[in-house]
Amino acid sequence: MDDFEGIFDIIILGTGLTESIATAALSKAGFTAAVFEQYGPSWVRAQLSAPSSGNSCAAAPPRPARVFYEKNKLYYGFTNFSAHPVNGKEYPTSEHLFQTFKFMYSRPAIAEEIRTISEFSRDVFRQAGVYKVKQHPNWLKMNIEKMDIVIWHKIGEHEDLKKELLGTGDAELVEDSAEDTFWGIGKNQQGRNELERRWRD
């Protein structure tokens, strides 16, 4: 990578969301940036971003982002923790249904305990964690399918969420959870952000 020093204005290490936004901003400001990603012990150039002045090598602008996770802020309804009951109010939040799915087919008594233990989604999340060793043995192969069902109910039963989703256009939905690197982006913002795919599919 030392061979490129002096050739580019900026060298960026990493290809995550933060790095992509920074690269686009630098390009717009007139800088030439080289983006490298790591393969084992080596850094390999993954992208060249030229100044965005009509140059054919200019990077395409990143998708706008709609960040959500904090309660009482815009797009909080896209989290499972929002107070949107599903399945005819049988489940006080979509988190109730999602956590219940972990036990519904193998431990129905636990599933019912989780569904009814509290109206608050965080309580349900914690209680499901208590029984983690008893969840369905194939849960990690089922969880995406079950999340699809959860979101199908949520959109179908709440017109406000459907309108809010349509209003985001083609923006990227980003669950800004520091703890979750699967459904969200995690603390280092490199997570899978799988929840966005579920809302978009």
Instruction: Write the pLDDT tens digit of every residue in 85-124.
Output: 999 889 999 999 999 999 999 999 999 999 999 999 999 9
Question: Residue 180 has what pLDDT?
Answer: 95
Amino acid (1-letter code) at residue 139: W
pTM of the predicted model as reported, rounded to 2 decimal places: 0.69
Considering the domain architecture, whether residues 126 and 194 belong to the same structural domain is answered as yes
Considering the domain architecture, whether residues 28 and 99 belong to the same structural domain is answered as no
Phi/psi at 15 (nearest 5 deg)? Answer: -125, 25
Considering the domain architecture, whether residues 42 and 70 belong to the same structural domain is answered as no
CATH number assigned to the domain comprising residue 124: 1.10.357.40
Considering the domain architecture, whether residues 70 and 45 belong to the same structural domain is answered as no
What's the number of CA atoms in the CB half-sphere (13 Å) around residue 112? 3
Question: Residue 186 has what pLDDT?
Answer: 93
Considering the domain architecture, whether residues 77 and 152 belong to the same structural domain is answered as yes
The structural domain count of the chain equals: 2
Given a cut of 70, is residue 61 above it in pLDDT?
no
| 3-state DSSP assignment of residue 77 | helix
Least confident of 55-64, 131-140, 162-171: 55-64
Q: Does residue 187 form part of some domain? A: yes
Considering the domain architecture, whether residues 97 and 167 belong to the same structural domain is answered as yes
Q: Does residue 59 form part of some domain? A: no
Pairing verdict, β 65-68 and 172-175: parallel
Considering the domain architecture, whether residues 89 and 136 belong to the same structural domain is answered as yes
Question: Residue 88 has what pLDDT?
Answer: 85
Considering the domain architecture, whether residues 71 and 140 belong to the same structural domain is answered as yes
User: Quick one: which of 9, 96, 14 has its CA closest to 47?
Assistant: 14
Range of the domain at 12: 2-49
Considering the domain architecture, whether residues 94 and 157 belong to the same structural domain is answered as yes
Considering the domain architecture, whether residues 20 and 88 belong to the same structural domain is answered as no
User: Quick one: which of 167, 196, 193 has its CA closest to 180?
Assistant: 193
Q: Does residue 54 form part of some domain? A: no
Q: Does residue 169 form part of some domain? A: yes
